[in-house]
Amino acid sequence: MTQHATLDSHAHRELRVRVDAGADLGDAVMATLTVPNEFRNVQGHFPILFRREMGQGDFTALAMFGFEAGENLFLDGDRWDARYRPLSLAIQPFLIGRPASGDGPGQVHIDLGHPRIAADGEGVRLFDVDGVATPYLDDIAGRLGDLDEGYRASGAFFDALCDFELLEPFSLEVTLDDGSVHSLVGFHIIDEAKLQALDADALGRLHAGGHLMPIFMALASLSQLSALVARKNCRLASG
């Protein structure tokens, strides 16, 4: 059960967080949220697909780890089998909190009900014995800041994609080595043909808004789909 609290160097002086990987730590997920300012790091490892959540108008971007719910092909027992962990996964069990008044500087919150909260004295400290944030917490705060900034910029990014009608529905049907068929449905990707057809003025506006780079990064990430299929086949082969 989630149990959010504002991080506090007194109350959480001795708290430790587990930074290893594992299904029991919440890593058995088929995808995680990603944000445009992170696409550059994500595209080298994971396909980026867009999805409009049911009943919501807004799109979100997802870094894909598998083909079905709970399947993470980058989780190998207790080992994270990639050189990158997307921000939204890396910051767990932390989140950004904001004062009730609405806007204002974000605060670091922590979900004390998260399985990454270490109960046994192992894991990484958030504060040293003097109450100073540890390098780990400094690093997390940096990532939270990046994620928050990216999340705030996401609205403008998807608005631009919609304005230029650059999103097209996408589904993928894959026949694996053992003959089984897996599919990804209900996603969107960048419409490459429409992107190619944009004139200089449109490209200039996308570029000015900082959207052009993430658009190309998202396109590039699709080459990771075949790698994902290969991982799935590999896992089938090893039983």
Partner 1 sequence: MNDMIERVVIVGGGTAGWLAASLIASSRRAKAAPLSITLVEAPDVPIVGVGEGTWPTIRQTLATIGLDEGDFLAACDGAFKQASRFDGWLDGSAGDSYLHPFTTPPAVPTGELLAAWQTSAPDQPFAAAMSAQAAVCNLHLAPRQRAMPDYQGATNYAYHFATEKFGALLARHAKQSPLITHILDHVTGVRHADNGDIAALTTRSGREIAGDLFIDCSGFKGLLIGDALDVEWIDRSEHAFNDRAIASQVPVPPGSPIASQTIATAHEAGWIWDIGLPSRRGIGCVYSSRFMDAERAETILRDYIARELPGAAPETKAFGVPFKHISFRTGHRARFWERNCISIGLAAGFIEPLEASAIVLIELSLRALTDNFPADRAAMDIHAGRFNKLFRYRWDRIVEFLKLHYVLSRREEPYWRAHRDPQHIPPHLTEMLALWKNQPPSAWDFPYVDEIFSAQSHQYILYGMGFPAPAGWPATDRATAALAEMRQRARTLAAGLPTNRIYLDALAADRAAAEPERVE
List 96, 117, 124, 219, residue binding partner 1 (CB under 8 A): 124
Q: Which window, 107-115, 131-139, 154-162, 176-184, contacts partner 1 (CB under 8 A)? A: 131-139
Residues ≥6 apart with Cβ < 8 Å to 140: 90, 91, 94, 108
**Interface positions, 176-235, toward partner 1 (CB under 8 A):** none
**Min separation Cβ 118 and partner 1, Å:** 9
**Min separation Cβ 12 and partner 1, Å:** 13
Q: In the complex with partner 1, which residue's Cβ is closer, 134 or 180?
A: 134
**Min separation Cβ 105 and partner 1, Å:** 24
List 136, 159, 176, 220, residue binding partner 1 (CB under 8 A): 136
Angle subtended at Cα 133 by Cα 130 and Cα 138, rounded to the nearest 5 degrees:
165
Q: Which window, 59-67, 86-94, 126-134, 200-208, contacts partner 1 (CB under 8 A)? A: 126-134
Q: Are 5 and 113 in contact (CB under 8 A)?
A: no
List 105, 135, 179, 239, residue binding partner 1 (CB under 8 A): 135
List 134, 171, 180, 226, residue binding partner 1 (CB under 8 A): 134
**Min separation Cβ 27 and partner 1, Å:** 14
Q: How many residues sit close enough to partner 1 to count as binding (CB under 8 A)? A: 16
**Min separation Cβ 20 and partner 1, Å:** 5
Distance CA 20, CA 141 (A): 18
Which amino acid, 8? D
HEC profile of 187-237: EEEECHHHHHHCCHHHHHHHHHCCCHHHHHHHHHHCCHHHHHHHHHHHHHH
Which has the closest alpha carbon to 23: 68, 86, 80, 66? 80
Q: Which residues of 151-189 are buried (b: 16+ CB within 10 A; e: fewer)?
A: bebbeebbebbeebebbeebebebeeeeeeeeebeebbb
**Interface positions, 103-122, toward partner 1 (CB under 8 A):** 120-122
End-to-end CA distance of the chain: 33
Using DSSP's 3-state secondary structure scheme, residue 162 falls into helix
**Min separation Cβ 109 and partner 1, Å:** 19
**Interface positions, 18-37, toward partner 1 (CB under 8 A):** 19-20
Where on the chain is the footprint of partner 1 (CB under 8 A)? 19-20, 78, 120-126, 128-129, 134-137
